[in-house]
Structure 1
Amino acid sequence: MQISVNQKFENVAVVVRAISKKVDQNNKGYYHLQVGIGLKSYDAKIWSDDEKINNEIIPGCIAYISGIARDFKGTTQLHINTIERIFNPSQDLINSILPTGFANENDMVNEINRLIDTIQNPYIKSLLQNIFEHQEVKKHFYKKAAGAEIHHAYIGGLAQHTIEVAKIVKGYCEIFSYIKYDVAMASALLHDIGKIFELSSFPENKYTTRGRMLGHITLGYEFVSKLISEIKDFPTDIKLDIQHCILSHHGMLEMASPVVPMTIEAIAVHNADKASSEINGFNLAIQRDTGTDLWTEYSPAYKRYIKK
């Protein structure tokens, strides 16, 4: 569902992504919200300081809203007259309003398995099979996002991003025959595995305490290292290669990588990760935008406007 300027809406279900209480120039209280319907994200205002709103409406909750949409500096802003939290939403209602990706979960499971089957090294293949059969991975990997806000920030986003990175790396290996395929492919499949611990489940999709304090790179490194240790005689050189790719996949120290890429496989994984995240980030900015012209709002993440 998309809400247009001057459209009245009644009892529309939304996810409250953010809410804060503010004071206007006349010292009157009001609420500023970000609400989501699918991939769309709307700026919203409630011109009231009702304390019940402050107590009941929290980030991650689902609510019915009624009001009218207005144009505000070229974007669609929702002026909410009433908001009512839904305390026990049905699964069908949740599914209808949460942001979802562009791939079916079963298709992504099958694609991950196909990519694992391309691995020749028995140690690496065993590691990947053990990880993707792990209880925590099966429970969360295909349902969580790859990011809280910027890229692949929707249900299934983590798996979709991982498959994109793996396919890009596969393409690199076809062009650059000297890339060690098994190491690069395994690292592509595992580079963001720590995000199953870093981000909470939907509808919240926020950083967990562990995620904030340690980050997905550290969490992923520790998780993969633990499962490597459970495979007898796992080769030390391969272990170091995969660990290095995970630790360096953000590419730069200032981008939270503990080390920079120092192997061909690591630089391949980094560039594949960058391509997937930035291309999807542009597309997500376009999908979310509620503006009325040909350009998105200014993106602080990418420091530019993006043509729709």
Structure 2
Amino acid sequence: MQHLSISSLRKSTADSPLSASFDAQLERKAERETKTGKPFYEITLVDGTGDMKLKVWENRPQFRALDDLPEGSLLRVSGEWTQNQYGMDSAKWDMRLLNESEGRDFLAGDPETRQKQDADWADILQMTGDIADPRLHALCAEFILHYGDRFRRSAAARKNHHARRGGLVEHVAQMMRSAWAICGVYPKLNRDLLTAGVLFHDCGKMWENNYPEAGFTQPHNIHGEMLGHIPLGIETANKIWRDLKDQPQSKAWQELTPESEDVQLHLLHLIASHHGTHEWGSPTLPRTPEAMALHYIDNLDAKYEMMSEGYESSPELAPGIQERKFPLPASLVTPLTHFSASPGVAPSAPKQESIELPLDELF
């Protein structure tokens, strides 16, 4: 029997059933009733790669075991897994508690995800370290020094995209790489400002979508609930900026151009406007090229991640068509594969002759 992560199990069962086990944390157990009044549990299991839901019917031995099993328990779940229109399921599965050694290994995260997030974090350090503006450079360095550990265990969302421990690092790193690429195409964009804006735009998620030091269950936080990540992000950036202004090195900032107050205001504007519209939660709209770029970079990475997850988990409606994944606008269609020339066959040169057709043959 293979031992996989939740994400790997989802990929492996996309085409055929699979006998496998996985380790997970019991995030939630909700008592439900069928239409005929029969009780069942709906449980949510999570690991460092994703989550899955299982229904536990009253005639299953696991039903009684769940009565005394607290949320947060670490489990090994084994069974014969398939996928249907409702997600992964198994007609025959069992579970047990992880022992102490297994629990330590599980909480460390799966090696593949750890390796990816470590590489993403290294990219964030490199790109913020290359910021030339000494004020934005110091601001990012101070943020990473004080909040780096908390930042690294935060998710980018609760359910739609990068909704996993460390997902915020993955999201921010990819956004920074995209921002640097776009600055190469639009050289008038302020790359220092845009890089800092990417780092800080979702930093309020450290309260809205944070994880404990040990565990993969995402709790709710009163500050995140009552304020939201945009006001929290503005306050975080402002606090660090005020602290830096009290340090001796900031005296040299008075001679810099543009003025420090303008740099601070433009950075705060990026945080405030990155959702792009009032309806999506931004208190103001993008009013600078950097703000507009940040909004679209953020939206692109979030939507691309949603589509990638949809291709892994959404049921097939017809060959090449998969069920819509909320909040994407429509059903997913299998993307076109990259062109690959046959070995030893040189691509033919394009013909230079132009062909003119009467308009009535075109329409």
TM-score (norm 1): 0.84
Distance in 1 between residues matched to 2:332 and 2:115, nearest whole Å = 21
Distance in 2 between residues matched to 1:101 and 1:283, nearest whole Å = 19
Task: Assess if the C-alpha contact under 8 Å between 1:37 and 1:98 holds in 2.
Answer: no
Match of 1:239 among 245, 264, 274: 264
Deviation at 1:296, TM superposition (A): 4.2
Partner of 1:78: 90
Partner of 1:111: 123
Deviation at 1:268, TM superposition (A): 1.0
SS of alignment partner, residue 164 of structure 1: helix
Matched, 1:283 2:283: no
Q: Encode CA deviations 1:217-236: one digit per residue, 9 max, x unaligned.
A: 11111111000011225611
Residue segments in structure 2 that go unaligned for 5+ positions in a row? 254-259, 335-363
Deviation at 1:266, TM superposition (A): 0.8
Deviation at 1:20, TM superposition (A): 2.0
Matched, 1:195 2:202: no
Partner of 2:326: 300
Which stretch of the first structure deviates more once superposed, 37-46 or 197-206? 37-46
Task: Map 1:40-59 onto structure 2 (within 5 A).
Answer: 41-48=51-58, 50=63, 53-58=66-71
Which stretch of the first structure deviates more once superposed, 90-99 or 27-36? 90-99
Over the aligned positions, Cα root-mean-square deviation in angstroms equals: 3.0
Match of 1:144 among 138, 154, 157: 154
Which stretch of the first structure deviates more once superposed, 172-181 or 183-192? 172-181
Distance in 2 between residues matched to 1:192 and 1:217, nearest whole Å = 7
Partner of 2:135: 123
Shift of the 48–229 alpha-carbon distance from structure 1 to 2, 3 Å rule, reads same
Q: Which has the higher contact order (CA 8 A, sep 6+)?
A: 1
Q: Encode CA deviations 1:78-112: one digit per residue, 9 max, x unaligned.
A: 3466444558552213346699377141x333312
Distance in 2 between residues matched to 1:87 and 1:208, nearest whole Å = 30
Matched, 1:24 2:34: yes
Task: Assess if the C-alpha contact under 8 Å between 1:75 and 1:291 holds in 2.
Answer: no
State the aligned residue count: 303
Deviation at 1:177, TM superposition (A): 2.3
Partner of 1:100: 113
Residue segments in structure 1 that go unaligned for 5+ positions in a row? none
Distance in 1 between residues matched to 2:112 and 2:306, nearest whole Å = 14
Shift of the 97–306 alpha-carbon distance from structure 1 to 2, 3 Å rule, reads farther
Match of 1:183 among 189, 193, 202: 193
Distance in 2 between residues matched to 1:61 and 1:297, nearest whole Å = 32
Counterpart code for 1:285 = G
Deviation at 1:150, TM superposition (A): 1.5
Distance in 2 between residues matched to 1:297 and 1:154, nearest whole Å = 22
Identity %: 21
Q: Encode CA deviations 1:101-157: one digit per residue, 9 max, x unaligned.
A: 77141x3333122212331111111111111111xx221222322122111122332
